[in-house]
């Protein structure tokens, strides 16, 4: 049953009680201003799939609106929003009045980095991002979520909030979610309801123009002025669209780019009639990333290594990274359950994966540990180390650093959903419990271990699947845009051939 809370006191009381009873459960927050649409619902669905408790805030924040903006007429449809939240499985809706969020005595404001507010939407909306940062800071303090979900349409807002979280050391994971679009390409927005039918058709030019810019980039142009000219030319085909800005910036710092070397945010703002709309696309100049996820025993490691070799990409051995950290902990004499000491050592270590034929070399703090990490002692302790949140968080950041230039193939439980959500190709490799048990039984028999039955293995694998899918940290998830390969009755060569074909279809043929 969904709970509607409207006061700070009630929200704190509810969350305090929940966390007392569920200390290890994750809380996800979806901040909104209401007027919910399919874009918001995609954030809620993502939060629902990744957290035990989902809180949606509905609050039209007055301090992020300018004097001539649409604060008074902004859609306020609480009953309809509540129905949609309940259908989507939301646990709590926090919908305070203005006086509850901003008592008359409140004077504190959160002011983000000036360079991140001066361009894009900030140029025409002075004070807007201070208002956004302030209300988000209040919501983070009130809810104290483990994860918070924002739509990529508000890319400048996401960059500012990510910097805020980083600078203020909030233990919150910011999850940017893809833009959801109408069939015309128009990005869903609460303000779309201001548009007439004719204006909606005109507004579709924003996405078309961004796509033209993207196509020009993919054809080899990396000069920002030329890409922006292509966007402008397409926007000019709709005289009723008044362009406010077209810009190409670095996605994290929002610094304007003159040439695009790796990644750029191509963004546009325009008015259609009296309605202001924004949209954007990410342009990337990097080698592809292939993310392979799937349940234990599906053959991910073997297949991933050989796919990387077949395509000339780096095999990002995430398992070796966890083993290297485990080796370092053991060498340092740290107790396995001393999580603060382990958090400190993993946050400061340097890990390298150096290509060297079929088996990349693993180096930690300048020491080659390729062979050492396969010892029985490391094997016996790696699961205990890998299950610690601080280890997981630190290694995800290191894995993402490897991925900045692309050119890698990685496998795991949440590579395509969490580590590389922007991977060019995502594969979910799976097999039935019976098939995985049969494969494991053959392996054990080959080693002379004949004292276990297929039925026992099936029970063990089913239990492992349940645990992996319901982990608080790094649960097994199939990305919504992943291609599933069911490997029952397929050989390793069959799977590799299928993956290489997918690579050619989805990546090479598009470039």
Does 99 carry a binding-site annotation? no
Distance of CA 121 to the CA centre of its chain: 23
Q: Does 366 appear as a known binding residue?
A: no
Instruction: Say if residue 40 carries a ligand binding annotation.
Output: yes
d(C-alpha 278, C-alpha 245), whole Å:
10
Q: Is 264 annotated as a binding residue?
A: no
Q: Are 317 and 362 in contact (CB under 8 A)?
A: yes
Is 166 annotated as contributing to ligand binding?
no
46 is in an annotated binding site: no
Residue 332 annotated as binding site: no
| CA 330 – CA 377 distance, rounded (Å) | 9
64 is in an annotated binding site: yes
Q: Which of 302, 433, 321, 426 is nearest to 378 (CA)?
A: 321
Whether 36 has a binding-site annotation, put simply, is yes
Q: Is 190 annotated as a binding residue?
A: yes
The neighbour count for residue 13, using CB atoms within 10 Å, is 12
For the beta carbon of residue 32, count every other beta carbon within 10 angstroms. 24
Q: Is 127 annotated as a binding residue?
A: no
Give the phi and the psi of residue 448 in degrees, each rounded to 5.
85, 10
Query: Is 33 assigned a ligand-binding role in the annotation?
Result: yes
The DSSP 8-state label assigned to residue 91 in this structure reads: S
> Does 151 count as an annotated binding residue?
yes
Respond yes or no: is residue 40 known to be catalytic: yes
Distance CA 154, CA 96 (A): 23
DSSP-assigned states of every residue in 186-220 = PBP-GGGGGS-HHHHHHHTHHHHHHHHHHHHHHTT
To the question of whether residue 91 is assigned a binding role by annotation, the answer is no
Beta strands 92-94 and 53-58, pairing class: parallel
Cα–Cα separations (whole angstroms), residue 144 to 19, 137, 165, 224, 251: 11, 10, 12, 40, 26
432 marked among binding-site residues = no
Which is catalytic among the residues 40, 128, 285, 445? 40
Give the residue ranges of the annotated binding site for beta-alanine: 64
Give the residue ranges of the annotated binding site for (R)-pantoate: 64, 157
Name the residues annotated as catalytic: 40
Give the residue ranges of the annotated binding site: 33-40, 64, 151-154, 157, 180, 188-191
């Amino acid at each position: 049953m969904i709970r509607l809370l409207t006061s700070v006191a009630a929200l704190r009381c509810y969350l305090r009680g929940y966390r007392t009873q569920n200390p290890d459960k994750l809380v996800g927050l979806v901040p909104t201003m209401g007027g919910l649409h399919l874009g918001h619902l995609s954030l809620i669905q993502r939060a629902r799939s990744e957290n035990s408790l989902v809180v949606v805030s509905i609050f039209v924040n007055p301090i992020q609106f300018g004097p001539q903006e649409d604060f008074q007429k902004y859609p306020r449809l609480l009953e309809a929003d509540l129905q949609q939240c309940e259908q989507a499985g939301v646990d709590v809706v926090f919908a305070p009045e203005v006086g509850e969020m901003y008592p008359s005595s409140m004077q504190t404001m959160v002011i983000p980095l000036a360079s991140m507010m001066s361009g894009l939407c900030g140029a025409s909306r002075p004070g807007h991002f201070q208002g956004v940062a302030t209300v988000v800071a209040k919501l983070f303090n009130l809810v104290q979520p483990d994860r918070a979900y924002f739509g990529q349409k508000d890319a400048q807002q996401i960059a500012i909030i990510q910097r805020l979280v980083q600078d203020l050391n909030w233990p919150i994971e910011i999850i940017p979610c893809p833009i959801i679009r109408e069939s015309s390409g128009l990005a869903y927005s609460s303000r779309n309801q201001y548009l007439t039918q004719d204006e909606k058709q005109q507004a579709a030019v924003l996405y078309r123009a961004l796509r033209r810019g993207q196509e020009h980039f993919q054809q080899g142009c990396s000069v920002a002025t030329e890409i922006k000219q292509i966007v402008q030319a397409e926007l000019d085909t709709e005289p009723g669209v008044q362009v406010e800005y077209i810009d190409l910036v670095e996605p994290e710092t929002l610094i304007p780019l003159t040439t695009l070397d790796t990644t750029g945010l191509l963004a546009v703002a325009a008015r259609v009639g009296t309605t202001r709309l924004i949209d954007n696309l990410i342009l990337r100049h990097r080698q592809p990333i292939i993310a392979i996820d799937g349940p234990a025993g599906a053959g991910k490691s073997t297949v991933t290594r050989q796919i990387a070799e077949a395509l000339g990409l780096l095999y990002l051995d995430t398992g070796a990274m966890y083993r290297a950290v485990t080796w370092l902990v053991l060498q340092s004499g740290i107790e396995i359950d001393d999580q603060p000491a382990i958090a400190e050592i993993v946050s400061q270590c340097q890990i390298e994966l150096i290509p060297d034929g079929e088996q990349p070399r693993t180096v930690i703090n300048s020491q080659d540990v390729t062979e050492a990490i396969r010892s029985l002692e490391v094997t016996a302790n790696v699961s205990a180390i890998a299950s610690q949140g601080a280890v997981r968080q630190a290694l995800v950041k290191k894995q993402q650093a490897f991925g900045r230039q692309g050119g890698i193939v990685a496998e795991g439980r949440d590579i395509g959903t969490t580590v590389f959500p922007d991977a060019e190709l995502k594969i979910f490799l799976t097999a039935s419990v019976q098939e995985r048990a049969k494969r494991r039984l053959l392996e054990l028999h080959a080693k002379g271990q004949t004292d276990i039955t297929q039925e026992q293995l099936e029970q063990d694998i089913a239990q492992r699947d349940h645990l992996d899918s319901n982990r608080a940290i790094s649960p097994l998830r199939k990305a919504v845009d992943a291609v599933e390969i069911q490997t029952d009755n397929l050989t390793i060569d069959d799977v590799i051939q299928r993956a290489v074909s997918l690579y050619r279809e989805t990546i090479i043929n598009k470039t």
